[in-house]
A and B are shown apart, each in its own frame.
Chain A
Amino acid sequence: MAENGTRASGRNHAKSVGQRVTRIEDGPLLTGHGEFLDDIVLPDLLHCAFVRSPLAHARVDSIDLEAARALPGVHAVLTLEDLMPKLRSGRMPLGASPVGGQNKSTPFVLSGKEVAYVGEPMVLVVAGSRYIAEDAAALVNIAFSSLPVVSDARKALAAGAPVCRTELDSNLMSNFQVGYGDVDEAFASAAHVFEDELWQHRGCGHSMEGRGVVAEVRPGGELCIWSSTQMPHDVYYMLAGMLRIEQEKLRVITPDVGGGFGPKYCFYPEEAALPAAALLLRRNLKWVEDRRETFISSIQERDQYWSMQIAVDAEGTLLGLRGSMIHDQGAYAPKPINLPYNSVTAVTGPYILPAYRMDVDVVHTNKVPVSSVRGAGYPQAAFTMERMLDLVAVKLGIDRADIRRRNLIPADKMPYTKKLQARSGASLVYDSGDYPAAQAQVIAAAGWPDFPERQKKALEEGRYIGIGLANAVKGTGRGPFESGAVRISQDGKVSIFTGATAMGQGIATALAQICADELEIGPEGISVTAGDTARTEIGLGGFASRQMVTAGSSVKLAAKAVAEKAIKAASKILSVPESDLELDDGYVRKKTGNQSISLGELARVLRGAPGYAFPEGLEPGLEATIRWRTDALSYANACHVAEVEVDPDLGQVTITRYVALNDSGRMINPMIVEGQVQGGIVHGIGNALYEFMGYDDEAQPLTTTFQEYLMVTATEVPNLETIYCETLAPGNPIGAKGVGETGTIPAAAAIISAVENALAPFGVRISQTPVSPETLFKLINTARQASQPHSDSQS
């Protein structure tokens, strides 16, 4: 396990990496002294509300602002036209793209001529309080002419279908193919071919804190923006491109972020509108998203429709997979096609698949724009593959674990190159992992081999229990880099600065642990500044389970450089050979004897004093900045087994047991890893059984409160049994892989597999998520009518 053997170890300090260190973030959060976006108070702060479209598609005939502007306490009521003097473009730039720029799918800062989804921001109201701002928003009088609505992605490309925005010729945003091998030959020669239509719905991100923006106008024409975002540097770069302001006069900071989960990975219209209004009005402004706004304006992942065929030989060995997929993109695309591309390139997962072909239509509808929610296309990929494998297993009478075992990539084939390419054109190379061993461990722990016996007994009692499993891999640690700087100040205080974003996952503690071990100190006193563009010049932020790998590697190398410099400086100052010195709890000490110098003292010497001698051969400053580069991904893997009981008369599913193995390489902090895995699984449980963002035929949202959109609560989940493996990532200096999404990716597939297994006596096939009690009840009833089961259920 240990990889630090080459470095001199301190006398006193136990290693921190690998320990369940309590988090340095916790104190303020537990006592009510965190500083979230809405907690920021500035002098003479004004409050904002947005007027949003009530219609899914309409032409705007007129906007009457008079009554709103006349309301006492209102400072301004602004349309896009009003903001244009401060904007370079009324249209948002394309995010996560090397070229950026606007296109016909990027949203508008505010829409004034045509609206394309319910919730689209149209008018910005600025007032003395949020209460008054909302009063005024209600007084804005807009005349609309309804236009035809595209509400179903499957019908969006039909001949004669209306377009979701009149500037478009078609709702087709993109069509692309991925694949390899001779697919047609694989199907022609296959012993068996099976097919299925799958619908997958993922719903919203729903961090408990919504989005929010504060814009502060500072002396000298400077503008400071706080945003509850996963991407402060992206917001910084894109805002600099949007506003008529020099980049150097702009600063973006993330305060405490109350969860991300994907939707805060985009640069939003509100994040451009508020800064523009602040520059226009020369006033400090705040906007905080309320939950209704989350439902109708924050990114959702929503719907994919897959038509799939699978070809296998007589033993169930995979020969080929082919099909087509329709991805509902919503009204706009704040990012390129990364999400559906992730889905179709992740389908083959941990399996060996000789031939594969997918045809993908990315289509616009009159709904909230789509981008990533935790898992970012991977849960759909896992669901598709795992459901197709279950289909083969059930049809051929092969045990579901067996069919997977026969097709998993064996450990001795690692590193394994998939015949697919990332969008960058680079090959997909699985760096490490032992998938068959992982599955074997989980099914043993979950009592998989004994289950048929238990199931038989339960059925005799009239109880329908089922077991299911699913595997997943996730490419983590996306580059090209993340910044990590380590600095020691003259009081000996150690600080880390990074472009990684803290959004609740505990990145500050994990980085502090890595740094602490290099410096032979404890992690508790280390301060971490994550997500401030004035403190970290360049960075990328939080997405794709990337920060532990990228920022962690940079911080490790930076801390190592600082440690080496401290030894070197101490050697000069104390006149002791470097080899006789070691770091120990904030000091550089002579290994034998009492000579020592504190890190603070070294920092003071290295900061320099005017006119005084400076240690020969040393660079000023006790600090180092590293931007560790990577283009490869580190592949984490997971295997989940779920056990459920289904009441066929109510369509009610109870998860009775859940066993999950996670392998995310080296665990910097096993407690934090466990928290990520458990939270991820519960998110997946929500996707499997509860979370549904509904729209009617006019694309009016139907679920805009937590009473209609069901989040998993504490009573729906059993105690999760988690198992951890540490297959070290060979491609980065800390051996870690990401863990933020691996819990979510296989969860829905495992649960639906278990539900289907419980209902095997009825012969029910389940090809969708989520599965509500009503849906399940209908499936059961249809199956019952088709063929009566041997014994009636009685629960």
Chain B
Amino acid sequence: MQEITLLVNNRPYSGTVEARTTLADFLRHSLGLKGTHLGCEHGVCGACTVIVDGASVRGCLMLAVQAEGAIVETVEGLAAEDGTLHLLQEAFSREHGLQCGFCTPGMLMTLIELLRETPSPTEMEVREAISGNLCRCTGYQSIVRAVLSVTGRPGGAPGDL
């Protein structure tokens, strides 16, 4: 067992994990942050995407011990403390960017990273950004529309991302 300490959604956590425990399993089962979902466990579907030290990673391909000392952001940290949804979450609901919701946390975290780096992406940049996130329900179009609706393209003010 290994001791690790990390910051998840601005809260410090410490605990012991087996070296082989993935970051996604640690978040889900040790910290109870079950919003991070596992869709393939081989790094393709993107459902487990979280942000580690500012970069999106596959929670299923990273070991929890590798996140020692890291700043981790998950879907649970997106909405405000009072429950007010993040602009992107709100846009997903408004534009029907989710159906079953299983891929949604990974989609959101991937897009948060995109919008931090490229605040006004083109449609193609949005599609490229989520090309590593599989969604069986939506056909992606409503997700793309949701993102573009919060970047002022077309319409709407740039989000606080």
Binding site for B on A (CB under 8 A): 22-23, 25-34, 36, 38-39, 41, 131, 206-209, 256-259, 261, 290-291, 503-506, 671-672, 674-675, 678-683, 705-707, 711, 713-715, 717, 719-720
With a cutoff of 8 Å between Cβ atoms, the chain A residues found around residue B85 in the complex are 27, 30-31
Is residue B35 contacting chain A, with contact meaning CB distance below 8 A?
yes
Q: Choose one: A27, A257, A705, A717; the contact of B100 (CB below 8 Å).
A: A257
Extra contacts besides A29-B100, A30-B101, A711-B136 (6): CB < 8 Å:
A29-B101, A208-B39, A208-B134, A209-B102, A259-B136, A714-B126
Give the 7 A-B residue pairs with the shortest CB-CB distance, closest first.
A32-B35, A504-B100, A29-B101, A258-B102, A682-B139, A706-B44, A678-B139
Q: Is the CB of A717 within 8 A of B76?
A: no
CB of B127 within 8 Å of the partner chain: yes
**Cα distance A206–B144 in the bound complex, in angstroms:** 22
B118 lies within 8 A of chain A by Cβ: no
B44, chain A: closest CB distance, angstroms:
4
Min CB distance A748 to B, Å, is 15
Known: A31-B85, A258-B102, A706-B44. A23 touches B96 (CB 8 A): yes
Q: Which residue, of A32, A33, A39, has the highest number of chain B Cβ atoms within 10 A?
A: A32
User: B120 interface residue, CB < 8 Å from A?
Assistant: no
Asked whether A714 and B104 contact (CB < 8 A) given A33-B35, A131-B18, A705-B44, the answer is no
CB distance B136 to A207 under 8 Å?
yes
Instruction: Give the distance to chain B from A642, nearest Cβ to Cβ, in Å.
Output: 14
The closest CB in chain B to the CB of A505 belongs to B99
Contact yes or no, A291 B39, CB < 8 A? yes
- The stretch that binds A, out of B51-59, B62-70, B87-95, B151-159, is B87-95
- B41 proximal to A (CB < 8 A): yes
B42 CB contact (under 8 Å) in A22, A33, A291, A678 = A291
Contact present for B131 and A713 (CB under 8 Å): yes
Give the Cβ gap from B99 to chain A, nearest Cβ, in Å.
4
Q: How many residues of B contact A (CB 8 A)?
A: 59
Question: Contacts A22-B93, A31-B35, A36-B37 known; A715 to B102 CB distance under 8 Å?
Answer: no
Q: Is the CB of B102 within 8 A of A678?
A: no
Q: Are B139 and A720 within 8 A (Cβ)? A: yes
Residue in A208, A257, A506, A714 whose beta carbon sits within 8 Å of that of B45 in the complex = A208
Query: Measured between alpha carbons, how far is A290 from B22 in the docked complex, in Å?
Result: 15
Known: A291-B41, A711-B134. A209 touches B100 (CB 8 A): yes
Interface flag for B16 (CB, 8 Å): no
Please determine whether A679 and B45 come into contact, CB atoms closer than 8 angstroms. Answer: no
What are 16 A-B pairs with beta-carbon distances under 8 A? A22-B93, A30-B79, A31-B83, A33-B35, A34-B35, A208-B37, A208-B136, A503-B100, A678-B139, A680-B139, A682-B139, A705-B40, A714-B131, A714-B133, A714-B143, A714-B144
Given known A-B contacts A26-B93, A258-B102, A705-B42, A32 and B34 have beta carbons under 8 A apart: yes
Given A31-B75, A682-B140, A719-B141, A26 and B42 contact (CB-CB distance below 8 Å): no
Give the one of B18, B38, B104, B139 with max A CB within 10 A: B139
Kindly state the separation between the CA atoms of A28 and B104 in the bound complex, as whole angstroms. 11
Is B79 a contact of A31 with CB atoms below 8 Å? Answer: yes
| CB-based contact A715/B40 at 8 Å | no
- Looking at chain B's contact residues, the main secondary structure is loop
Cβ of A717 and Cβ of B40 under 8 Å apart?
Answer: no
Give the distance to chain B from A214, nearest Cβ to Cβ, in Å.
Answer: 14
In Å, the complex CA distance between A754 and B38 comes to 37
| Complex contact B104–A717 (CB within 8 A) | no
Q: How far is the CB of B97 from chain A (nearest CB, A)?
A: 9
A707 lies within 8 A of B140 (CB) = no
Please, which residues of chain A bring their CB within 8 A of the CB of B100? Answer: 29, 207-209, 256-259, 503-505
- Across the interface, B135 reaches (CB within 8 A) one of A27, A208, A503, namely A208
Instruction: Give the CA-CA distance A504 to B20 in the complex, in Å.
Output: 33
B101–A258 touching, CB < 8 Å: yes
Contact B141 A707 (CB under 8 A): no
Kindly identify which residue among A27, A30, A207 contacts B102, using a CB–CB cutoff of 8 Å: A207
Enumerate chain B residues within 8 angstroms of A683, measured Cβ to Cβ.
Answer: 136, 139
- Alpha-carbon distance A25/B92, docked complex (angstroms): 12
Among A30, A206, A672, contact of B89 (Cβ-Cβ < 8 Å): A30
Residues of A within 8 A of B150 (CB): none
A208 in contact with B47 (CB, 8 Å)? yes
Bound together, the chains give a CA A290 to CA B25 distance in angstroms of: 13
Q: A675 and B96 in contact (CB under 8 A), knowing A29-B104, A706-B45, A713-B131?
A: yes
Contacts of A34 in B (CB 8 A): 35, 101
With contacts A208-B136, A714-B130, A714-B131 taken as known, whether A674 is within 8 angstroms of B96 at the C-beta atoms is yes
Identify the interface centre among A39, A41, A671, A706: most chain B CB within 10 Å of its CB: A706
CA gap between A290 and B24 in the complex, in Å: 14
Closest Cβ neighbor of A674 among chain B residues: B96
- Complex Cα gap A707–B134 (Å): 12
Enumerate chain A residues within 8 angstroms of B102, measured Cβ to Cβ.
36, 207-209, 258-259, 504
A residues within 8 A CB of B126? 714
A23 touches B47 (CB 8 A): no
In the bound complex, residues from chain B placing their C-beta under 8 Å from that of A208 are 37, 39, 45, 47, 100, 102-103, 134-137
- Within the complex, what minimum Cβ distance (angstroms) separates A560 from chain B? 28
Map CB proximity to A onto B12-51 as digits: 1 under 8 Å, 0 otherwise.
0000001011000000100011111111111011010000
Give complex CA distance A713, B124 in Å: 12
Give the complex CA separation of A290 and B40 in angstroms. Answer: 7
Closest Cβ–Cβ distance, residue B149 to chain A (whole Å): 13
Q: Which of B98, B124, B135 contacts A26 (CB 8 A)?
A: B98
Question: Are B38 and A31 within 8 A (Cβ)?
Answer: no
CB distance from B40 to the nearest CB of A (A): 4
B103 pairs with A717, CB closer than 8 A: no
Q: Which of chain B's residues have a CB closer than 8 A to the CB of A705?
A: 40, 42, 44
What's the Cα separation between A43 and B122 when bound, in Å? 48
Given contacts A207-B100, A209-B39, A209-B100, contact A715 B131 (CB under 8 A): yes
Please pick, from A32, A290, A678, the residue contacting B105 in the complex, using a CB distance under 8 A. A32
Max chain B Cβ within 10 angstroms of own Cβ: one of A33, A34, A290: A34
Cβ of B93 to closest chain A Cβ, rounded Å: 4
**Given known A-B contacts A706-B45, A714-B127, A30 and B137 have beta carbons under 8 A apart:** no
Q: Output the residue of B37, B47, B136 with the most chain A CB within 10 A.
A: B136
- A20 CB to closest chain B CB, in angstroms? 8
**Is B142 located at the chain interface by the 8 A CB criterion?**
yes
Contact pick for A22, options B94, B128, B137, CB 8 Å: B94
Expressed in whole angstroms, the minimum distance between the Cβ of A18 and any Cβ of chain B is: 16
B2 within 8 A of A: no
The reply to whether the CB of B112 lies closer than 8 angstroms to some CB of chain A is no
Contact A259 B75 (CB under 8 A): no
> Which B residue's beta carbon lies closest to that of A683?
B136
CB distance from A272 to the nearest CB of B (A): 24
- Please report the C-alpha to C-alpha distance between residue A28 and residue B105 in the assembled complex, in whole angstroms: 11
Give the docked Cα–Cα distance between A30 and B84 (Å): 11
Taken together as a complex, chains A and B put the C-alpha atoms of A714 and B124 apart, in Å, by: 9
Q: How far, in Å, is B151 (CB) from chain A's closest CB?
A: 16
**Chain A: CB-nearest residue to B127:** A714
Q: Is B108 an interface residue (CB 8 A)?
A: yes
- In Å, the complex CA distance between A33 and B35 comes to 6
The answer, among B108, B127, B142, for a CB contact under 8 Å with A30, is B108
Given A29-B104, A36-B102, decide whether A706 and B134 contact each other with a Cβ distance below 8 A: yes
How far does the Cβ of A156 sit from chain B's closest Cβ, in whole Å? 31
Interface centre among B47, B89, B137, by most chain A C-beta atoms within 10 angstroms, is: B137
Q: A209: nearest residue on chain B (CB-CB)?
A: B102
Check A23 against B42 for contact (C-beta < 8 Å): no
- B106: shortest Cβ distance to chain A, in Å? 9
Q: Which A residues are CB-close (under 8 A) to B42?
A: 291, 705-707
Is A675 a contact partner of B137 (Cβ separation < 8 A)?
yes
State the Cβ distance, A702 to closest chain B Cβ, in Å. Answer: 16
Candidates B33, B37, B136; contact of A206 at CB < 8 Å: B136
Which residue on B lies nearest to A709, using beta carbons? Answer: B44
Docked-complex contact A675 and B104, CB < 8 angstroms: no
